[in-house]
Every structure is written in C-alpha cells, then in structure tokens.
C-alpha cells in the first residue's frame, strides 16, 4: 500500500525532474563556453595551466583545472591543487583586521605607533584605515631590503624593521592612493600585536578552521609542508622553466595565502553570511576609501571596488613569481569567478571577466 508520504513523493518527483534541467542546462552551456576559452592553443596538453572556479547563485558552475600543476610529475590541476594566491591574499589579511576590530582589539583609527612604539615619529600619523586603503605612504619594503645582506630569512618582521629605519614616509598619510604591499605586510604585524597570536595561527583559527578550509594556510618562515602544491613556470622559447622558490615567500600579509578551489568556494559563500563578521563590516570592506580631499581610491579593505556591467564588483589580481591570480565577485548577481594560473604572463583577469560576461549575458559567448 502506498502511504500518503510516499504518494506525495511520487507526485512531486516529475515536477522536480522538470525543474532541474533548466538550471543544469544553463550551467552546462556556460561550462562548455569556459572549456572553449581554456582549450588549446591557450593551454596545450602537457603544459602548465590554470584552475577555474565559477559560482553562480551558490552553485559551482565550473570547478576544474586545465593543464598541469607540476611538469616533473605530470600532476594535473584539480580543485584540490594548492595555489599561491599572491596579492589576492590581502582579502584574508583585511578580514583578520576586521575580526579584531569587531572584538574591540583594535580600531581603524589606531595609529601605527600604538602597536609599534619603536616606529619613528612619522608613523604616528598613519592609521590602520590608511593601511587598509593603501593611503598610508609606507616605503616599499623591497626597496629597503638588501638581497646581499646576512640578516637571515626575509620575514615580515625583518621587513617592518627595515621600514622603521626610514626617515620619512613616501607621502603624507591620506594624501593619495598608492598600492602598497608594505601596508598589508604591516597590517599582519598589527594583527599579531593586537591578538597575541602569530598571523598564520590567527588566520587558521579564526578564518580557515571556522569555514572548514582544511587545505588552506599562510606560508611563513617555518616553511610548512604543502601537499599537492602547484609550481609556477616561465616560458623560454618552447620550454617551461620552473620558477617556484620560497626565498621571498615567507613575507605574509600582502601575500602568502595558499589554498584550493574547494576551500575558496567556502570562503566565497561565507562572505554572503555573518559567519566571520557582521554584514555592516563586510559592506565597509566593499566600499571605496577616500583620500584627504575626498577622492575615492577605488579600494576597500582588501578588495578593489569598481563596476561590471552596471553592477558593483569587488575584485583583486595577484602576481608573484609566475603565479597569476584573479578573484572577482559581483555580489548583487551572486556571481564569483576565480582564475588561478601557474604560468607567466597568463591573462587571468581578462579571462575571468570574459567568463563573468558569459554568465551574466546568459549566452555561450561573451561580447568582445
């Protein structure tokens, strides 16, 4: 005998079957269009390639790799391949700062010298907000670093110490926007002083673990072992040269987050929720900062702020060694596109925008 519950299930099954193909057919069409973008000659068989994640309305429309992650072992790129995020790491540094701000451990108006009294007097005019918006004027740590020195492994602490020796900032804090890796490196050090935890530990305990990002970490001077990591490559003629090195990869805050497509899906979805911070705080991160004269910088907290096809877009590019990364989100359209590449001069951002255009147009091809 058919029970009422079983009868209801049988009645609803055909309706569900009718509803599912509408979304899945559209997703399949978009996935085919993405495959075409990454097909040869862009990524040939046996060559280093890229990973692509497309999320629309909470669904993974595309989550796959094209080409190889490591040429020597012929390991393919997959959703579990671990990539260096390069400057896309800044969104995690900003989140760490926002978490501490909500807990009352720091304020966006706090001065650099509150956390580092040993800093020269000009540091008393630079605030946490200045560093987040790239308006702080900190000197570039690469310019301060002498590769021939015997000061040891180039760490974030060492780089901040080298900046401390400078007699003045590049410009008056707030006077203008000037993209600064030094600023985000300093923010990671502020997180350490405010929380009493090493930055990699704080990010793991307060971001990665709560979201279930089990393959994610911040690389530092301890040089943690990374399983299934991608290498990066530069092409010389017809040959690819492995350019992966950890010599300058122990500096964190401005980079050094290592993660996978699977973990980035969890991160992306969390940004629609209040799992880590309140919505108002996330909105602040997605809002452009301003200079002293009121000009918008086009940069929020760890995100570039712009528009894409009339909708607000937050995005970031990354370049370190020969890794090329791009993460773009159009929150009101519930669309995210990520392209993580292991090849020099790879057009990750251009391809990401083409994919987004495909998804928002509903067509198999993006307009040129």
Give the mean pLDDT per block of 10 residues along the chain (368 residues): 39 36 73 96 96 97 97 97 97 98 98 95 96 96 70 83 92 97 97 98 98 97 93 91 81 96 98 98 97 97 97 95 95 97 95 96 48
- List all residues 6 or more positions away from 309 whose beta carbon is below 8 Å from its beta carbon: 330, 356, 357, 360
* Residue in the structure block whose two tokens are 């079983």: 6
The confidence score (pLDDT) of residue 151 equals 63
Q: Are strands 311-320 and 304-308 parallel, antiparallel or unpaired?
A: antiparallel
pLDDT of res. 247: 67
For the chain, give every domain's residue range: 30-101+198-361
**Residue 238: DSSP 8-state:** T
pLDDT of residue 60: 97
Dihedral sign, CA of 345, 351, 352, 353? Answer: positive
Residue 29 CB: number of other CB atoms within 10 A? 14
Gyration radius of the chain over CA positions: 22
CATH classification code of 30-101+198-361: 3.40.710.10
Q: How far apart are CA 215 and CA 199, in angstroms?
A: 17
Q: Is 304 helix (H, G, I), strand (E, B) or coil?
A: strand
Q: Identify which of 215, 240, 214, 226 has the alpha carbon closest to the alpha carbon of residue 68.
A: 240
How would you classify residue 66: left for phi > 0, otherwise alpha for psi between -120 and 50, otherwise beta? beta
Full-model pTM: 0.90
Query: How far from each other are the two terminal CA atoms of the chain, in whole angstroms?
Result: 60
Write 139-148 long-range contacts (CB < 8 A, 24+).
Answer: 139/163, 139/166, 139/169, 139/170, 139/182, 140/170, 140/180, 140/181, 140/182, 141/181, 141/182, 141/185, 141/251, 142/181
Q: How far apart are CA 144 and CA 160, in angstroms?
A: 10
HSE on the CB side for 211, CA within 13 Å?
28
Distance CA 285, CA 136 (A): 17
If you count DSSP H runs as helices and E runs as strands, how many of each does the chain have, helices first? 12, 13
Tokens standing for residue 36: 């075409």
Strand partners, 63: 53
């Amino acid at each position: 005998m058919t029970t009422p519950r079983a009868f209801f299930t049988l009645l609803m099954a055909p309706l569900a079957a009718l509803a599912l193909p509408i979304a899945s057919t559209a997703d399949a069409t978009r996935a085919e269009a993405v495959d075409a973008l990454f097909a040869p000659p862009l990524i040939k068989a046996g060559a280093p390639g890229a990973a692509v994640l497309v999320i629309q309305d909470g669904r993974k429309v595309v989550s796959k790799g094209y080409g190889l992650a490591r040429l020597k072992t012929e390991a393919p790129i997959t959703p579990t391949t671990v990539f260096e995020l390069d400057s896309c790491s800044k969104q995690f540094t900003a989140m760490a700062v926002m978490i501490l701000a909500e807990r009352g451990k720091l304020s966006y108006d706090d001065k650099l010298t509150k956390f580092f009294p040993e800093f020269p007097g000009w540091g008393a005019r630079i605030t946490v907000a200045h560093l987040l918006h790239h308006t702080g004027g900190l000197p570039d740590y690469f310019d301060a670093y002498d590769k021939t020195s015997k000061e040891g492994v180039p760490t974030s602490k060492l780089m901040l110490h080298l900046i401390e020796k400078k007699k003045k900032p590049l410009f008056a804090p707030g006077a203008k926007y000037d993209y600064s890796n030094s600023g985000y490196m300093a923010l990671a050090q502020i997180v350490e002083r405010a929380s009493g935890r090493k930055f990699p530990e704080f990010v793991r305990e307060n971001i990665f673990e709560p979201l279930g990002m089990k393959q994610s970490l911040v690389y530092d001077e301890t040089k943690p072992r990374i399983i299934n990591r991608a290498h990066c490559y530069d092409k010389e003629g017809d040959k690819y040269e492995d350019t992966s090195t950890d010599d300058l990869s122990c500096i964190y805050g401005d980079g050094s987050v290592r993660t996978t497509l699977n973990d980035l899906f969890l991160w992306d979805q969390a940004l629609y929720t209040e799992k880590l911070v309140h919505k108002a705080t996330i909105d602040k991160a997605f809002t452009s900062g301003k200079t002293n004269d009121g000009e918008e910088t086009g940069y929020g907290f760890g995100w570039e702020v712009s528009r894409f096809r009339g909708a607000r877009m937050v995005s970031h590019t990354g370049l370190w060694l020969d890794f090329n990364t791009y993460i773009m989100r159009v929150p009101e359209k519930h669309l995210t596109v990520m392209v993580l590449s292991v090849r020099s001069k790879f057009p990750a951002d251009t391809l990401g925008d083409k994919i987004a255009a495909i998804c928002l147009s509903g067509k198999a091809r993006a307009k040129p």
